[in-house]
Each structure stands twice: as structure tokens, then as C-alpha cells.
Structure 1
Amino acid sequence: INCDYRLLEVGDVFGFSVKDKFFKIILPSAIPYVTVGMRLGLGYSWRALIGAELIAASSGIGYMIMDAEQLSRPDIIIVGIITIGMLGYVIDLLFFSLTAKLSSWNKEGAKSWQELE
């Protein structure tokens, strides 16, 4: 358990059951770690999705970029790349907001996006 043992001792003092300790102490302590892992996994899956579209797809943004490359259309290529970047940024921003909301008790988790820039 990656939880401060002192918090569990406080739970014992207040007479928490095992279920209460899990839902009120352990789970909230784990939320920042879980959401960071999910955020990293989301980034990796986004890259894999675009890579797969670039290699072997018949539709999608990656296919649009490859098709534009074959037709020598740099304008479409640039729009596709910007679209991929913007979608990735928005998805990451939404996930960061979710993390901040779920761990609002944690000062590190509750930082707003503007404070990080």
C-alpha cells in the first residue's frame, strides 16, 4: 500500500472499518498515481493510433496526411499535423482537469492549468 501509515492509524483512532479505510484513505491517496498512469497511457495510445493510421488505414487523420503526401498537398499535411496536435492537447487538458477535480484535496493535484504554464 502506497499510503502514509499515519493516515491509517488516524483511521483506526476514529474507528474506521476496513471498508471505510479503503474508500476514505487508501483510494483517495492512490487517485493521483492512477490518473498520472492513465494520462501517460493515453498519450502512448494516441501516438499508436496515429501511427497505425499512417501505415495501414483507409480513413482518419493519418490516412488524410498520407494521401496528401502522395498528392503533394503540403497545406493538407500541415492542417492534419496541427489537428493531431490540437486534439492531443485538448485531450490532455481534459484529463488534467479530471485529475485536479478528483484530487482537489491534494494541493499538487489541484493546481490549475494556468499555474503550470
Structure 2
Amino acid sequence: MEVYTLENCIFCKIINGEIPSNKVYEDEKVLAFKDINPIAPVHILVIPKKHYESIIDIQDDEMDIVAHIHKTINKIADDMNFKEDGFRIINNCGENAGQEVKHIHYHIIAGKTLNWP
């Protein structure tokens, strides 16, 4: 089992430009890019540039990053023209929830009719 640190976090490496990504949006606080294993025609990951393992690790006085991520998701949905058809936002928190990368990230899934498992 790999122990995640900022040095080996794949999302931190993407933020730092060490690993290429197909960027959709970037500002001073967040980066959004296409998932390399999409499960729908639109599958985008939105991540804060500051490393937090999950939502549990965000201190109350830094929780504005979550609002910023949601604003970014709205902007992407509008800019990429899938807002009207609908989309799903997923944030897995912890191993039992299916979080594979221990850097908080939000999945935007769209472009087809989505069922609930």
C-alpha cells in the first residue's frame, strides 16, 4: 500500500506540470482536467492546487475552497454546454468510498443519461 505524500501525489505532479494533463480550466486556486479513464462523454476532475487528502482535512477557515470548486464546476458546465442537460458531481472521501487518489477531487460526469447503481 502506497503512502501518499505531496512528493508522490499524482495530482500534485499534474498541478506542478510534472505530468501532462488535458486542462479544461485553471485559475490560482484550482485545476480542472479531463479524466484519463472517462466513464461518460464528459468526465472532468476538479482539484484544488493546495493539497488536502480529503474534505475531512480542510480546516473550517479554508472551507471557501469548496465553494470555489463548485463555482468552477458551474462555469465549466456553462462553458462546455452541458449545464442544461444535467450532470453529476462526485466526491469520494476515503478508501471505503472509492477514493483512489488521496488529493481531494471532484468528478464532473455528463454527456449521457446517468443511472444510479
* TM-score computed with the length of structure 1 as normaliser: 0.29
Higher strand fraction: Structure 1 or Structure 2?
2
The structure number with the bigger radius of gyration is: 1
Structure having the larger proportion of residues in helix: 1
The higher-RCO structure (CA 8 Å, 6+ apart) is 2
TM-score w.r.t. length of structure 2:
0.29
